Amino acid sequence: MFYNINLKNKYKNKAGFTLVEVLVSLSVFFIILLAINSLLFLMTNSNSKTKANREVIDNARRAIEIITYEIKGAKSIYTPTTTANQLSLETLRYLPVDENNTFIDFFLCGSAICFKKESQSLVSLTSDIVQVANLSFSQILNNGKPSIKINLTVDYINPNNNPNYSASVTLTSTVSLRNY
């Protein structure tokens, strides 16, 4: 009997883990690992959505700013080639040698906004990762001064229809020509 009691005390004092303790520890570890994994996945998706929104807004803002700048500096609207989808401006900027005026055109070329200065190459105002869904110009009179209303819709190119890369922005602006 004495031998049996010492054997029980020997096992009671020995350090170690039971099977239940190991299973509980592993369960807690995997729950924490799953929470961290979910957080990383959420952060990646949020970053993708933010990138798409930033690209769309930056491209639309840049295009509107350039068009606005050119309208404000224009001498007049060149109506023979101005339509709902194209804006032609007569300007005193970028004058070729021995010329009194020159022309600038804004229009859609494929899915990008392009502008062309007279006798120069075509320049795209938007990047390849966005597409312009709508570009329209309307001539209006504002207190007798000619003005242009610009409607612009830019979408992020999302070939796989991934909701994380879905982004679109619509901007509307009205700009008056300055008198020279």
Which pLDDT does position 45 carry in this prediction? Answer: 78
Block residue for tokens 């520890």: 25
pTM higher than 0.95, yes or no?
no
Amino acid 13: pLDDT: 57
Domain layout of the chain by residue ranges: 20-176
What local confidence, expressed as pLDDT, does residue 100 receive? 76
Nearest to 139 by CA among 94, 74, 60, 93: 74
Q: What pLDDT score was predicted for residue 180?
A: 43
Q: What residues in the chain have per-residue pLDDT under 50?
A: 1, 180
pLDDT at 33: 93
d(CA 165, CA 127): 16
Residue 148 confidence (pLDDT): 93
Helix residue ranges per DSSP H, 14-147: 19-72
